[in-house]
């Protein structure tokens, strides 16, 4: 049985995800220490053949008068 495919939006909800501001490698993963052109989970899946196991849900940001985001 094949490994489950990871959710394309997974990194955007992960505490380790960041935007690098590097035009060539705009996305980053702090847990694994790399920058990439594609979403980091896609790079992990391409390199290992399995979905990322380091995902950690980013805490919600709470602003007074607004619904929580995150
Ligand atoms: S730990 Fe996994 S889900 Fe989180 S940013 Fe890195 S590759 Fe994406």
Whether pLDDT at 1 is above 60: no
- Per residue in 18-55, pLDDT tens? 999 999 999 999 999 999 999 999 999 999 999 999 99
More confident residue, 60 or 20: 20
State if residue 6 touches ligand 1 by the CB under 6 angstroms criterion.
Answer: no
State if residue 28 touches ligand 1 by the CB under 6 angstroms criterion.
Answer: no
| Closest protein CA for atom 7 of ligand 1 | 41
**Number of domains present in the structure of the chain:** 1
State if residue 11 touches ligand 1 by the CB under 6 angstroms criterion.
Answer: yes
Q: DSSP secondary structure string, the chain?
A: -PPPPPPTTGGGGBTTEEE---SSS-EEETTTTEEESS-HHHHHHHHHSS--S---BPPPB--TTS--B-
Segments forming the whole domain that contains residue 48? 1-70
Q: Which atom of ligand 1 is nearest to the CA of 40?
A: 7
């Amino acid at each position: 049985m094949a490994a489950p495919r990871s959710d394309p939006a997974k990194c955007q909800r992960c505490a380790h995800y960041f935007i690098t501001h590097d035009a060539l490698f705009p996305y980053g993963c702090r847990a694994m220490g790399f920058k990439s052109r594609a979403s980091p989970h896609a790079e992990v899946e391409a390199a290992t053949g399995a979905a990322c196991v380091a995902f950690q849900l980013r805490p919600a940001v709470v602003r007074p008068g607004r619904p929580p985001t995150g």
